[in-house]
Amino acid sequence: MPIPTPTDLPPQDAAPPTFTEYPATTKQVAGLVDGQVTDVMTMYFTDKIMITITQNGRLAQWLQVPLGSSNPGRADHFLPSGSADESLLPMPHLTASTLLGGSTPDRETIGQLYAVQIASAIALKNPEEQRPVVIGLGLARLDTSRERFFDIIDIVTQCL
């Protein structure tokens, strides 16, 4: 069988590849949460947004939150209504899944709460964003206080 030549191949309808800026855009912020240095780094890759939240330089849990709607026909249903009280709540269509870590149910639940809240902040900032958000979480201790939660979320939003 003869080897096909370029003239024998069917025409390609695909657009030529586009090249994006390398390296990925990165931003880093540090702050104190209950006297503990908390480092946040955001990296915007072409296919994902990665955020790490570390204390004592550790990462113990990785989570992912897809921002794209699983039902494109219903995407407008999830846009924020604009109420200030509702903007503090995570978007109801976002679901976090644990990729690594989350060794106890409490740690997994807290990690998913952080992940969905961060993904909601990204979606509110840029409603057109469709890239999945991957979050590395390494908190020194498991603490469910509201003040600590909002302090960490505040540092993360400074880094978006």
DSSP-assigned beta bridge partners for residue 98: 63
State yes or no: cis peptide before 23, omega within 30 of 0.
yes
The C-alpha R_g of the chain, in whole angstroms, comes to: 20
pTM, entire model: 0.76
Share of the chain above pLDDT 90, in %: 62
Beta-bridged to residue 1, according to DSSP, are: none
Using the predicted structure, report yes or no on whether residue 73 has a pLDDT greater than 80: no
Taking residues 68-87, what's their average pLDDT? 50
